[in-house]
Amino acid sequence: MVVQAMASRLLGMTALRGLGPRAPGPPCRRAAPSRACSLLCPGRIFTKEDWDTKHSTISGRRQSPIDIQPAEGMFDSGLGPLHTHYHRSGPMLLYNNGYSFLAEYPDNCSANVLGGGPLQGRYRLKQFHFHWGASDERGSEHRVNGSAFPAELHLVHWHESCESFNEALVSKKGLAVLGVFVEVGETHARLQELVEALPNITHKGMMHEVGTFDPSGLLPPCLDFWTYPGSLTTPPPYETVTWFILKRSMSISGEQLASFRRLYVSAAGERAVRMVDNFRMPQPIMDRSVRSSFPVPIELQDAATDTAAPARG
C-alpha cells in the first residue's frame, strides 16, 4: 500500500516536471471544510489577543506577510520555474468563514497541484481565498517597497505526503501558498462565475457548492516569483509555509471587488459587520532572505511600471 502510494507519487512527480499527463487519481469526494472553520473566525477583524495564540511551532521568527524590498542579490539562478498543474475540477465549495470567502477542494483531490521552484515533491491545492481593503489604497497582505495593492489572492497547497490538510498545517514544509497581487482594472471573466455565487454566502458560516472550477484562469501568464519561508497570516500563524509571491498581478473590476466588500463577517441575525480590511500587516523579516526567480535590476524597472503599480499604502 505504501509502496503503491510512493510509486504513484513518483509517477506524478515525473509527469509534473515534464508537464506531461499524470496518472489518474481517485475521484474527488465532495468538498467540505476540513475544520468547522478553517481559521479562528471570530466574525470580526482579529485583535492582538487573537494573534497571541501560543503554539509550539510558532517561533515568531518567520511570520507572514512581509514587505518585499526588491534588490540586487535576490536573484537565485538555481530556482527552477514553478509548475502549476491546474484543471477544471470539483466539486468545489464556496465558504464564508467569517474572515474571507474560501473556495475549497476536498482533501483527497489531487486534480490541482503545484511543484517546481525550491519545492520538493507535489503540493495539492486545498483552497484559495482573497484579502482586500475597505478602499483601494489597501488590502493586500504582502507589499512591495512599502506599497500595498487593493487585494491579494492566496492559493493554499499542502504536501501530498501528509495524511491530511490538518496534518500539513503543522508539518515542516507542509504548506505552499501562491500569492497573486490584485489590481483594479478590467473585469476578470474567469473569476466572474465565483463572484456571481457570492450572494449565496453573504454571512459567516454559509456554504454553497459551485460544481467545478478551473483555478488556472486566475493566474497571470508569467509565474516569475519571490519566495521566502513564512507562516499562515491568520491565527494560529503556523510557520510551515513556503511562500511564492508572483511578480505579475491579476486585474479585477471595481464592481467585482465591490462584491467582495458586500459580504459580512457576521452571521445572519447578528449585528451586520462588513467583510473588509481582512489582511494582516507586514511582519519583521528577521534573518530571512527573500529570493527571486528573475534577475532583479531589469525586472525591478518592469515591476515598477507595467506590473506592480500598487497604490501607496
The least CB distance from residue 49 to Zn ion, in Å, is 20
- Contacts (Cβ under 8 Å, ≥6 apart) of 164: 34, 107
Which of the ranges 2-10, 146-154, 186-194, 220-228 carries the binding residues for Zn ion, by CB under 5 A? 146-154
The least CB distance from residue 1 to Zn ion, in Å, is 35
**Would you say 151 or 308 has its CB closer to Zn ion?**
151
**Would you say 260 or 294 has its CB closer to Zn ion?**
260
38-67 core/surface letters (b: 16 or more CB in 10 A; e: else): bbebbbeebeeeeeeeeeeebeeebbbbbb
Which of the ranges 75-83, 147-155, 163-171, 184-192 carries the binding residues for Zn ion, by CB under 5 A? 147-155
Closest residue by Cα to residue 104 from 46, 37, 150: 37
E strand intervals along the chain: 67-68, 82-85, 89-96, 101-104, 113-116, 123-132, 143-144, 151-159, 175-184, 207-213, 225-230, 241-246, 250-252, 291-292
CA–CA gap between residue 127 and residue 133 (Å, rounded): 21
Which of the ranges 81-89, 109-117, 150-158, 166-174 carries the binding residues for Zn ion, by CB under 5 A? 150-158
The least CB distance from residue 228 to Zn ion, in Å, is 15
**Would you say 93 or 155 has its CB closer to Zn ion?**
155
- 154 contacts Zn ion (rule: CB under 5 A): yes
Residue number, nearest CB to Zn ion: 154
Residues in a beta bridge with 183 = 251
**Would you say 126 or 154 has its CB closer to Zn ion?**
154
The least CB distance from residue 130 to Zn ion, in Å, is 8
**Would you say 22 or 154 has its CB closer to Zn ion?**
154
**Would you say 30 or 35 has its CB closer to Zn ion?**
35
The least CB distance from residue 210 to Zn ion, in Å, is 19
Give the Cβ contact number of residue 202 at 10 Å: 16
The cell numbers describing 223, all together, are 509565474
Residue at 223: amino acid letter: L
Using CB under 5 A as the criterion, which residues of the chain lie in contact with Zn ion when the complex forms?
154
